[in-house]
Every structure is written in C-alpha cells, then in structure tokens.
C-alpha cells in the first residue's frame, strides 16, 4: 500500500469561501483585457474538479467554473459507491472493469482513505435466486477479487468474498425473509462517506495548488480561446481568456458544444429510515426479477438513513437542473425490496428520494436501453479545440480528468508536466493509523479526515455549535460553520443539500433551514 502524506487542517490555500470567490473573479476580470490563463474548466462535478486539480498540479494556471455549486449535478446523486467494475466484467468490458478497480484502489489507499472505506454486501440466496444464478454470482465475486489483485489493491483494504450460512446472512440483514433462505454471498466494495464531499475535497485540493474555483459563474458561450461567463450573484458578464477549454458539464455538455449527442439515463434512489430495515450491518444486492446482471442496492449510511437504488431509465427532452423522481421508479424499487424482505414497506415509509442523470454518450443512434450503453468515458475535441469529456462514472473521475487534460495539452500545445493526481492526497487524507489515532468521533474522521479535530474544536469552544442541526441526525452546527468558512458554501442550499445531506429528507430540511441561515452571521 502506498503511503499517504497527512494533509494539515486547513491546508494553505485550500479554504474556499465567498471572499475568496469574489477576489478571484475580480482577478479574472482584470486578466480579461489581455493575459490568458492556461486552462478553463467548465463544470465542477467530480470530473471538472478533477480536471482543475490535474491541470493545476501539472503547473498550469487554471480557473474552474460552475453555474451553481460544487457537485450540483450528477456527482451528488450517485449510489455513494466506489465500484470495482464487477458489472463490467459480466458484460465483457474488461478495460472499463480494470480501470474501475485501479481507480478504486487509488482512492482507498492513496488519495482519499478518509472518505472511502470497505463496505460489505450480501446477496441473499432466496427462492428467487436459482442455484445456477447463485453459482454465476459466486464466480463473478471471485473474478472481482482477481480484479482487485490485478489492480494491486491490498487484501487488508478489501477482504475476500465468501459464502454465508442462512444464520450469518440474517445476522447481517435481519429484515430478510427467512422462508426459503439458503444463505448468502458476501462481497466487498468501496463506499463513499458522501459523493458531494469527495467533490468538495477535490476542489479544495485544486485550490491549494493554485486553481481558481468559482461557483455561481455560468458559461454563456464557449470558444477555443475562452468563454463568455456571467457572475450569477451580480449579473456581471465578462470574458475569460484561456489557451485551452475543457467542457466537463456532464449532462449539460451538449448545450455548450455542437455535435455532442448524449442519452441521459436516470438513476433513482429512495431514502428510508434504518429502523424500518432492522439496522443493517451490511449492504444488500437484491436481484431484479427477470434480469441476470442487475441488482437493487440497499445502502446503509450510518446516519439513520438507508438509500435504495437504483433505476436505469432513459430521459428524453430538456435536462432539468434537479431531476424529478417518478412514482413509477419508487414503486419499482419498493416492489423489488418486497421480493426479499420480511418487512412490508409502504409509500409512506419513503422519507425522501433523489435521481441523477448519467451523461452517457450515444454512439449507436439506436433507441436501445440506456442500461446497455457502455460506461466507458469519451474525450472529444471540437474543430475549435474545445475538449469535452463525457460518459464514465464517479469511480473513474480521476482518469477521465487526466485524459481530458492530456487532450487539452496536446490540442493547444501547452507546456505542462505529467499527470500527478494518482499520488496527490486530497484535503483531509492521512495514513489509516493517523486517522485512527484522532481523538474525535469516528463519524467526523470519515467526513473530514485529518481536519476532523479542527471541526470538532469549533463545538468545544462554543457548545451551541456542538448541537445537532436536526434532532436524531448527527450533523452539527459546527459542520455548517466549517462549510461556510472553508468549503465554499454560499447559501443554505449549499449547506443542506451538498455539504451535508440533510436536505434529502424534506422534513429534516425544513427543520434545519433556520440554523443554516444563522451560520452565515458567525463566519467572522
């Protein structure tokens, strides 16, 4: 396992806040009259933030913009998993599977061990899973473990898969139906504490390396030598001159560059209370009836909530800022849960739901299922020299960013060093032992890494800040204050919907909004 150099709390230059944003936007306005930056990145999801970090660590001058906020789009609507590529093995996409396994290992062992940890999963062998299907799944998990080894991820990081007895299976997942339960298959994968927090860490690390990270800055028009943008807080328009432009706008990428044809796919998740599922000790793979290689995932979050997903449905028409969740998706997921659980879950038990749109590149021109479109990413360079990166998935964001910056450097003949991001720890990262030795709640360590003591100290110095924002939910007012001071949060939505996930449950969001607004008076 490669060593991780601890990143000190509030690493110099990594703090994002409203004052820094205003200063850097003013600097760009001054530069607009003549001086160019090297790279302008449009979009601050995982891939865009990753491209900003990649370019900055190569010694290039960088600005990265987003019309809304960090992780506003697809990057906050994922399953919060860092997949090892098992699904792609089953469909013969060996290159995508291996790339996923490599990137998973990089995150878990080098760049973000504080944010990604091993998560056990149980595939229950119910009467709906034939012995042939069970044998196929078992072979798949063994192949996945070989994939782990080929990616050089240590056994200490991801334990081996194995077969469980019926008793062991029920111990890990008490809500499973006992009738006909033959046992289970245990496997392991990477679980993110929070996808939006990963994006925040990437963006802050990019800022520490000199990148300008500008939210609320909308790209109105892209050209080969920059962009016309608008400051969404003031309405001011300015032109940013750049030697290279990277379009990492996800499902909105086609609206900025001609001839980019996407087929967005909707992935829906439900939010349930963990008490309704017997407080799971592991995640679940529940086979979808009639499908050989698709599962509904049951994902305990450790904060009193469980996510259940996901669907894979094509989306037609205009792309919304925040996708709606159709009742048909909710009914489908509840029905699949009902096929394996001993508890009856009703629509009223769904306390929240969210949907993300995958930016899949349509290369076939057919109307086939989006579930069958390859998740391999693509980097496309327009005649003007604008580099667009689409496809892929959260796990492979770093490699997508690397390929996009490689293409931009080549297209515009930039002088740049090699990619370094496979060995650059994100803000908060440290060796596992250093993280384990921190004398603060484990939950904070999993969200903030080596910065956790600094967040915790805010509550020690002011006990009011140590209080939970919502009764029964672990997030404290100190965490909201930290997000405003250091993580670029500019309003209550940034705090409740992205820096924390309180907003996934509407009732909790309503309760927390007053506290979130109050934090902005304590930022001095």
Is the distance from CB of 133 to CB of 139 less than 8 angstroms?
Answer: no
Instruction: Give whole-number Cα distances, 264 to 41, 199, 427, in Å.
Output: 21, 21, 31
Is pLDDT at 374 greater than 60 in this prediction?
Answer: no
Instruction: Give whole-number Cα distances, 185 to 51, 168, 285, 422, in Å.
Output: 38, 10, 9, 32
Task: Supply the pLDDT for residue 215.
Answer: 98
Task: Supply the pLDDT for residue 347.
Answer: 96
Q: Looking at residues 329-358, what average pLDDT do you find?
A: 95
Q: Looking at residues 251-257, what average pLDDT do you find?
A: 93
Kindly report the average pLDDT of the chain as a whole number: 92
Task: Supply the pLDDT for residue 363.
Answer: 66
Residues 6+ apart with CB under 8 A from 117: 108, 190, 191, 193, 446
What's the pTM? 0.94
Q: Looking at residues 458-478, what average pLDDT do you find?
A: 95
* pLDDT confidence tier of residue 86, bands split at 50, 70 and 90: confident
Task: Supply the pLDDT for residue 1.
Answer: 47
Task: Supply the pLDDT for residue 30.
Answer: 82
DSSP for 80-109, please give it: SEE--SHHHHHTT-HHHHHHHHHHHHHIII
Is pLDDT at 461 greater than 60 in this prediction?
Answer: yes
Is pLDDT at 4 greater than 70 in this prediction?
Answer: no
Residue 521 or residue 348, greater confidence = 348
Q: Looking at residues 325-346, what average pLDDT do you find?
A: 94
Task: Supply the pLDDT for residue 370.
Answer: 45
CA atoms within 13 A on the CB side of 180: 11
Is pLDDT at 39 greater than 60 in this prediction?
Answer: yes
Packing angle, helices 477-486 and 452-461, rounded to 10: 120
Distance between CA 361 and CA 113 in Å, rounded?
A: 31
Is pLDDT at 95 greater than 90 in this prediction?
Answer: no
Packing angle, helices 94-106 and 131-150, rounded to 10: 60
pLDDT digits (tens, 9 = 90+) for 345-372: 999 999 999 999 988 887 665 455 445 4
Is pLDDT at 85 greater than 90 in this prediction?
Answer: no
* pLDDT confidence tier of residue 281, bands split at 50, 70 and 90: very high
Distance between CA 405 and CA 57 in Å, rounded?
A: 11
Distance between CA 478 and CA 499 in Å, rounded?
A: 12
* pLDDT confidence tier of residue 34, bands split at 50, 70 and 90: low
Q: Looking at residues 386-404, what average pLDDT do you find?
A: 95
DSSP for 222-266, please give it: EETTEEEEEETTT--EEEEEEEEEEE--GGGGGGTSTT--B--EE
Is the distance from CB of 493 to CB of 451 less than 8 angstroms?
Answer: no
Task: Supply the pLDDT for residue 249.
Answer: 96
Is the distance from CB of 7 to CB of 430 less than 8 angstroms?
Answer: yes
Burial call 15-40: b when 16+ CB within 10 Å, e when fewer = bbbbebbeebbeebeebbeeebbbbb
Q: Looking at residues 285-290, what average pLDDT do you find?
A: 88
DSSP for 35-84, please give it: PPEEEEEE--SHHHHHHHHHHHHTT--EEEE-SS-TT-SGGGSS-SEE--
Distance between CA 137 and CA 376 in Å, rounded?
A: 23
Task: Supply the pLDDT for residue 219.
Answer: 98
Packing angle, helices 506-519 and 477-486, rounded to 10: 60
Range from 86-100, 244-258, 369-383, 488-502 carrying the lowest mean pLDDT: 369-383
Helix (H) / strand (E) containing 487: none
Distance between CA 99 and CA 103 in Å, rounded?
A: 6
Q: Looking at residues 44-53, what average pLDDT do you find?
A: 98
Q: Looking at residues 87-99, what average pLDDT do you find?
A: 83
Range from 23-37, 42-56, 478-492 carrying the lowest mean pLDDT: 23-37
Q: Looking at residues 161-180, what average pLDDT do you find?
A: 96
Range from 26-40, 207-221, 364-378 carrying the lowest mean pLDDT: 364-378
């Amino acid at each position: 396992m490669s060593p991780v150099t601890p990143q000190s709390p509030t690493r110099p230059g990594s703090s994002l806040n409203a004052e820094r944003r205003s200063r850097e936007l003013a600097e760009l306005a001054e530069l607009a009259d003549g001086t160019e930056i090297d790279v302008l990145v449009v979009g601050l999801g995982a891939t865009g933030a990753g491209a900003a970090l990649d370019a900055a660590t190569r010694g290039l001058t960088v600005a990265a913009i987003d019309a809304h906020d960090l992780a506003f789009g697809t990057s906050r609507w994922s399953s919060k998993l860092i997949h090892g590529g098992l699904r792609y093995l089953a469909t013969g996409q060996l290159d995508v599977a291996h790339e996923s396994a490599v990137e998973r290992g990089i995150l878990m062992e080098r760049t973000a061990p504080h944010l990604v940890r091993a998560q056990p999963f149980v595939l229950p062998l119910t009467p709906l899973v034939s012995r042939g299907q069970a044998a196929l799944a078992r072979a798949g998990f063994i192949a996945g473990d070989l994939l782990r080894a080929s990616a050089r991820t240590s056994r200490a990081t991801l334990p081996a898969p194995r077969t469980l007895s019926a008793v062991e299976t029920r111990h890990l997942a008490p809500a499973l139906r006992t009738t006909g339960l033959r046992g289970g298959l245990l496997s392991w994968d990477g679980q993110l504490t929070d996808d939006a927090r990963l994006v925040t860490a990437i963006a802050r690390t990019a800022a520490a390396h000199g990148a300008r990270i500008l939210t609320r800055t909308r790209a109105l028009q892209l050209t080969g030598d920059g962009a016309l943008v608008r400051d969404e807080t003031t309405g001011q328009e300015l032109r940013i001159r750049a030697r290279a432009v990277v379009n990492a706008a996800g499902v909105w990428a086609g609206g900025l560059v001609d001839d980019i044809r996407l087929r967005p796919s909707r992935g829906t998740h439900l939010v349930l209370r963990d008490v309704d599922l017997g407080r799971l000790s592991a995640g679940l793979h529940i086979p979808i009836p009639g499908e050989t290689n698709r599962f509904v995932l049951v994902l305990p979050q450790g904060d009193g909530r469980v996510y259940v997903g996901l669907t894979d449905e094509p989306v037609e028409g205009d792309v919304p800022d925040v996708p709606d969740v159709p009742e048909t998706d909710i009914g489908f997921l509840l029905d699949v849960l009902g096929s394996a659980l001993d508890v009856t879950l009703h629509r009223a038990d769904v306390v929240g739901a969210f949907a993300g749109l995958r930016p899949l590149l349509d290369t076939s021109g057919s109307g086939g299922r989006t579930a069958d479109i390859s998740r391999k990413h693509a980097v496309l360079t327009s005649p003007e020299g604008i580099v667009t990166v689409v496809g892929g998935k959260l796990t492979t964001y770093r490699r997508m960013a690397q390929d996009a910056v490689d293409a931009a450097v080549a297209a515009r003949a930039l002088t740049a060093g090699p990619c370094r991001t496979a060995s650059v720890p994100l803000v908060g990262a440290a060796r596992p032992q250093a993280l384990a030795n921190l004398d603060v709640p484990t939950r904070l360590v999993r969200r903030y890494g080596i910065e956790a003591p600094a967040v915790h100290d805010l509550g020690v110095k002011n006990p009011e800040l140590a209080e939970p924002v919502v009764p029964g939910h672990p997030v404290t007012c100190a965490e909201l204050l930290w997000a405003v001071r250091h993580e670029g949060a500019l309003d209550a939505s940034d705090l409740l919907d992205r820096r924390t996930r309180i907003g996934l449950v509407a009732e909790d969001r309503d309760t927390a909004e007053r506290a979130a607004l109050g934090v902005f008076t304590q930022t001095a």
